[in-house]
A and B are shown apart, each in its own frame.
Chain A
Amino acid sequence: MKRFFYVKLALSNIQKNRRLYFPYLFSCIFMVCFFYLIYSLGMHKSLKANGSVHALLSLAIGVLHVFSVIFLFYTYGFLMKKRKKEIGLYNILGMEKKHIAKVLFFESLWLFLGALVFGLAAGLLLNKLMYMLIAKLLQFETLLFYIEIQAILNTIGWFMGIFLFLFLYQIFQIHLSHPIELLKGDRVGEKEPKTRWLLTLIGFVSLGIGYAIALSVKSPLAAVGLFFVAVLFVMIGTYALFTAGSIAILKGLKRNKRFYYQINHFVSVSGMIYRMKQNAAGLANICLLSTAVLVMFSSTTSLYAGINEIIRDRYPADTMLLSHSLANEPKQQEKLEQLVQQAAQKENISISETLSYTYYSLVAQKKDNYYTLNPNQNNVDMTTVQSVYVISLEDYNRIEGKNVQLEENAVLLFSENQTDEPNTIRIENQIWNIQENLSDFTLTKYLREPAFVSDYLVVDSFDSLGVLSNLDVQLQYEYGINFNNADDEKIEEFNQSLKHLLKKNMGKSSDVDLSSIAGEHTSFYQLYGNLLFIAIFLGMLCLFATVIIIYYKQVSEGYHDRLRFEILQKVGMSHNEVKQTIRSQILTVFFLPLLMAIVHISVAFPIITKMLRTLSMSNVSFFLLCTVLSVLVFSLIYALVYFVTARTYYKIVKS
């Protein structure tokens, strides 16, 4: 009988506090469901076999472990603050702390069971859907569906651990406190926050540094490294500005008496100071989570949707032949062309165009039109490292259909990101005059390293490059073939028979290497599909966290504002005026993070564009479109969440 009393009391507590508990329970269910789904995917036999997919899923599982702990503790904190009064009352009514512990234990148990049952049920229901989604994204045929018992057990184990910790944490808190303190709960007299100039300064400076990095990066390879540095600075800046900067600004407004003592500003400014004090960290969290969602969604969707373009970018020709030994052997080159035609005839595939050229590919550090070759990787500024391709005038004239003559000791230059037009150029200790700075260059499509910016030099003859003979650089020959509407399968057949012919006719020592677009689609879909999947998954997680944080913020704001609302009305503010000032404050508080997130992503746009270049995504306008769409969709969801939760808020304030 007595035991049932606690069990029932716990259950009725949850029901009575449903405004607080149901969202918490809902987030627990959500976390359990997600946890199980990702775990079962991570343990799936066919996905385990694929290295890159498995690695990314493992990463997601790791993130999920950390996230679930932080998130559940965070939301539980909200809940506990609101319930302190009730627990204090139990204590005063004569319940000992061990009895309260008992009630709390059963509450935790109920919540745990609820989260587990509903979460796993939802997980199992969505399991099949999840398999279909990932199979679709990765362009797998189908994914064998089976229920992974181990995933269920691991989920149960992990959440049992979290709930146990939460329970112990509560007990610890209750043990420390006195009943009177518990009764007062969240209404401990609040001091007006002080202006923290140093932190404000740190905020502005680190946000400035972060933004400056994001905006100034030129080389794609440097972008990858610097991005995380920039992110770190922006994170610090965001937290500092939300906590200290906002209050510094508001207090500045307050000091301006003519501004402050006006109906519209008076209540809002002083109210905002307190709101920001209580909510700064939460709002900074919302801001950063939103930014993360936007960055992930925009970049992965643009990668996934632009997959064909990316592949074309990386494989300018359907099939590409590469050789060092053929570079100086015109006879052998002719023989190779014949073999290609032969293979095409045999496989009945029609060649639309071919392109051949010989070139040097160099990695150099460029400074004031002075190239230093083979820079020492360790102590070099990566932003100045780039590729230099040297081709012959003969190939240039043939490919471009021109008839350019070069003067003595002169070259043509095409530079990908140079605005000035230099007159001379120097490689190591050899100097050339630049006869012309070219404005376009067909071979940029073929000769490029996505991570680097490239320069192209056209020289009269490779013999004049005395400087290179001392170095260990080899001339290369490339032969590109494009077909008339051929599918991957057809191209693959051609490739096989060409390989066969090459082996038979070019001798064993032949170093001709064949690379082809055929088969690449699958691997690209697997990589980018997986990235998109992870982004969707992490994005949903962040979005959900954002929603829950907004909800709890609204609820706790509501309880705080209720008293203020009453007093203002008694002192002579009309109902509508009160409603208006409160609405404007709430709107500011909740849309500030979104606004800031949009500013963040706008500034991050250039650096992300450069990072995407290392993944062969160079269509900036398409990425812009994806970003704008992501921002629009996200803002819409955000606004929707706001309006739904705002209703709860008004209900609390009015009651």
Chain B
Amino acid sequence: MTLLEVEQLKKIYTTRFGDRQVEALRQVTFSVEEGEYVAIMGESGSGKTTLLNILAALDRPTSGTVFLNGKNLTMIKESELAAFRRNELGFVFQDFNLLDTFSIQDNIVLPLVLSGKMFLEMEERMLPIAKKLGIQHLLDKFPYEISGGQQQRAAVARALITNPKLILADEPTGALDSKSTNQLLQLFSDINEEGQTIVMVTHSTRAASHAKRVLFMRDGEVFHQLYRGHMTVEEMFEKISHTLTVLLSGGGKI
């Protein structure tokens, strides 16, 4: 079943004084099946972040449509957006975006509090997730008291707690050391195995090599894609590296 359908997406930014227009997304079309794990790769300025912002309903496209689970994102009313984002999407950011005024536990349950759930239910949902992510002993700590990898796992827990249809990850390994990176990628693979759909934006080949499919973006367009098939992570890594080399050296078709 198709979970996410992006059609003819176009986004044009007008510079501050209105004299110049920048085309961030030219024409982006792709779809994501339920249970897929998709990485979107591209250089800085290729339009990855713009795309992710539109998928996250944080930004609206100039033209084109985004369907999530059959619902047109671009048509949702402003007043319902926040609730939609909370219930249907989970976010993992490069710099974690944990609130330093909350303990880890409070950070994780934040979306549930915003949805007006009872505390007992919050605890019921949070404890198994925390256990799975190996942060159950950190629940009373504050973000500045724990390591980056632990913070990112807390952020993943926060993203998972609402049982979202789709997890959107923006450079989730960007601020992590290699050990934490491997742990996090393993975690993503695991939750994907359990059926969670993930769309990850990254320019780390290592991160992308864990995905089932990799989309390459350049100049606001989806340029190329790779399926993993039965390749191992290492094989996928080499394939992506190779593709990138060809793409970057200005080659046309692969």
Which residues of A are interface residues toward B (Cβ below 8 A)?
189-192, 257-258, 261-263, 266, 270-271, 273-274, 564, 566-575, 577
Select which of A192, A273, A564, A572 is within 8 A of B85 by beta carbon: A572
Select which of A192, A261, A571, A574 is within 8 A of B91 by beta carbon: A571
Contact yes or no, A257 B82, CB < 8 A: no
B73 CB to closest chain A CB, in angstroms?
Answer: 14
B152 CB to closest chain A CB, in angstroms?
Answer: 14
Residues of A within 8 A of B106 (CB): 266, 270
Residues 64-92 of B, flagged 1 when their CB comes within 8 A of A and 0 if not, give: 00000000000000010111011101010
Asked whether B58 is an interface residue with its Cβ less than 8 Å from the other chain, the reply is: yes
Identify the closest chain B residue to A258 (Cβ).
Answer: B119
Asked whether B93 is an interface residue with its Cβ less than 8 Å from the other chain, the reply is: yes
Residues of B within 8 A of A192 (CB): 101, 103, 142
Contact yes or no, B158 A189, CB < 8 A: no
Select which of B87, B91, B100, B142 is within 8 A of A570 by beta carbon: B91
Residues of B within 8 A of A273 (CB): 101
Which residues of B are interface residues toward A (Cβ below 8 A)?
56, 58, 79, 81-83, 85-87, 89, 91, 93, 97-103, 106, 109-111, 113-114, 116, 118-119, 122, 142, 144, 158
A563 CB to closest chain B CB, in angstroms?
Answer: 9
Identify the closest chain B residue to A578 (Cβ).
Answer: B82
Q: Supply 17 A–B pairs (Cβ within 8 Å), ascending by A.
A: A189-B144, A257-B119, A263-B113, A263-B116, A266-B113, A270-B99, A270-B106, A274-B101, A564-B101, A566-B97, A567-B99, A571-B111, A572-B87, A572-B111, A572-B114, A574-B83, A575-B82
* Cα distance A574–B114 in the bound complex, in angstroms: 10
Identify the closest chain A residue to B86 (Cβ).
Answer: A572
Residues of B within 8 A of A575 (CB): 82
Contact yes or no, A570 B58, CB < 8 A: yes
Contact yes or no, B100 A573, CB < 8 A: no
* Cα distance A314–B172 in the bound complex, in angstroms: 82
Residues of A within 8 A of B79 (CB): 574
Contact yes or no, B86 A571, CB < 8 A: yes
Residues of A within 8 A of B100 (CB): 189-190
* Cα distance A167–B58 in the bound complex, in angstroms: 46
Contact yes or no, B116 A270, CB < 8 A: no
Residues of A within 8 A of B122 (CB): 261
Identify the closest chain A residue to B97 (Cβ).
Answer: A567
Contact yes or no, A572 B144, CB < 8 A: no
Select which of A262, A271, A274, A567 is within 8 A of B113 by beta carbon: A262
A-B pairs, top 10 by smallest CB distance, nearest first, are A572-B86, A574-B82, A189-B144, A261-B119, A266-B113, A567-B97, A572-B85, A270-B101, A257-B119, A274-B101
Contact yes or no, A574 B109, CB < 8 A: no
Residues of B within 8 A of A567 (CB): 97-99
Identify the closest chain B residue to A274 (Cβ).
Answer: B101
Residues of A within 8 A of B102 (CB): 270
Identify the closest chain B residue to A272 (Cβ).
Answer: B101
Q: How many A-B pairs fall under 8 Å by CB?
A: 68
Residues of A within 8 A of B87 (CB): 572
A190 CB to closest chain B CB, in angstroms?
Answer: 6
Residues of A within 8 A of B101 (CB): 192, 270-271, 273-274, 564
Residues of B within 8 A of A570 (CB): 56, 58, 91, 93, 97
Contact yes or no, A263 B119, CB < 8 A: no
* Cα distance A568–B102 in the bound complex, in angstroms: 12
Select which of A257, A568, A572, A574 is within 8 A of B99 by beta carbon: A568
B83 CB to closest chain A CB, in angstroms?
Answer: 7
A271 CB to closest chain B CB, in angstroms?
Answer: 6
Known contacts A567-B99, A574-B79; can you find 6 more A-B pairs with CB under 8 A? Answer: A266-B106, A570-B58, A570-B91, A571-B97, A572-B85, A574-B83
* Cα distance A271–B110 in the bound complex, in angstroms: 13
* Cα distance A574–B103 in the bound complex, in angstroms: 22
Residues of B within 8 A of A571 (CB): 86, 91, 97, 110-111, 114, 158
* Cα distance A577–B86 in the bound complex, in angstroms: 13
Contacts known (A257-B119, A261-B122); A572 close to B83, Cβ less than 8 A: yes
Residues of B within 8 A of A266 (CB): 106, 110, 113
Contact yes or no, B82 A577, CB < 8 A: yes
* Cα distance A636–B118 in the bound complex, in angstroms: 41
Contact yes or no, B109 A261, CB < 8 A: yes
Identify the closest chain A residue to B155 (Cβ).
Answer: A571
Residues of A within 8 A of B58 (CB): 570
Identify the closest chain B residue to A572 (Cβ).
Answer: B86
Residues of A within 8 A of B89 (CB): 572
B105 CB to closest chain A CB, in angstroms?
Answer: 10
A567 CB to closest chain B CB, in angstroms?
Answer: 5
* Cα distance A155–B140 in the bound complex, in angstroms: 56
Contacts known (A191-B142, A564-B99, A572-B82); A263 close to B114, Cβ less than 8 A: yes
A331 CB to closest chain B CB, in angstroms?
Answer: 90
Residues of A within 8 A of B91 (CB): 570-571
Residues of A within 8 A of B97 (CB): 566-567, 570-571
* Cα distance A568–B110 in the bound complex, in angstroms: 9
B123 CB to closest chain A CB, in angstroms?
Answer: 9
Residues of B within 8 A of A568 (CB): 99
Identify the closest chain B residue to A265 (Cβ).
Answer: B113
Contacts known (A271-B101, A567-B97); A261 close to B82, Cβ less than 8 A: no
A45 CB to closest chain B CB, in angstroms?
Answer: 60
* Cα distance A262–B158 in the bound complex, in angstroms: 17
Residues of A within 8 A of B113 (CB): 261-263, 266
* Cα distance A258–B110 in the bound complex, in angstroms: 14
Identify the closest chain A residue to B109 (Cβ).
Answer: A261
* Cα distance A190–B99 in the bound complex, in angstroms: 11
Contact yes or no, B99 A573, CB < 8 A: no
Residues of A within 8 A of B82 (CB): 569, 572-575, 577
* Residue among B101, B113, B119 having the largest count of chain A Cβ atoms under 10 Å: B101
Residues of B within 8 A of A566 (CB): 97
* Cα distance A273–B93 in the bound complex, in angstroms: 26
* Residue among B89, B103, B111, B119 having the largest count of chain A Cβ atoms under 10 Å: B119
* Cα distance A273–B102 in the bound complex, in angstroms: 10
Residues of A within 8 A of B114 (CB): 263, 571-573, 577
B12 CB to closest chain A CB, in angstroms?
Answer: 23
* Cα distance A426–B113 in the bound complex, in angstroms: 74
* Cα distance A263–B110 in the bound complex, in angstroms: 9
Residues of A within 8 A of B81 (CB): 574
B76 CB to closest chain A CB, in angstroms?
Answer: 12
Residues of B within 8 A of A262 (CB): 113, 116
A493 CB to closest chain B CB, in angstroms?
Answer: 77
* Cα distance A189–B142 in the bound complex, in angstroms: 10
Identify the closest chain B residue to A568 (Cβ).
Answer: B99
* Residue among A262, A571, A573 having the largest count of chain B Cβ atoms under 10 Å: A571
Residues of B within 8 A of A257 (CB): 119
Residues of B within 8 A of A577 (CB): 82, 114
* Cα distance A262–B118 in the bound complex, in angstroms: 8
* Cα distance A33–B117 in the bound complex, in angstroms: 58
Residues of B within 8 A of A190 (CB): 100, 144
A33 CB to closest chain B CB, in angstroms?
Answer: 40
B154 CB to closest chain A CB, in angstroms?
Answer: 12
Residues of A within 8 A of B98 (CB): 567
Identify the closest chain A residue to B96 (Cβ).
Answer: A567
Identify the closest chain A residue to B110 (Cβ).
Answer: A571
Identify the closest chain B residue to A575 (Cβ).
Answer: B82
* Cα distance A273–B101 in the bound complex, in angstroms: 8
Residues of A within 8 A of B116 (CB): 262-263
Identify the closest chain A residue to B170 (Cβ).
Answer: A570
* Cα distance A266–B101 in the bound complex, in angstroms: 11
* Cα distance A567–B107 in the bound complex, in angstroms: 11
Residues of B within 8 A of A263 (CB): 113-114, 116
* Cα distance A262–B115 in the bound complex, in angstroms: 9
A521 CB to closest chain B CB, in angstroms?
Answer: 61
* Residue among A190, A257, A566, A567 having the largest count of chain B Cβ atoms under 10 Å: A567
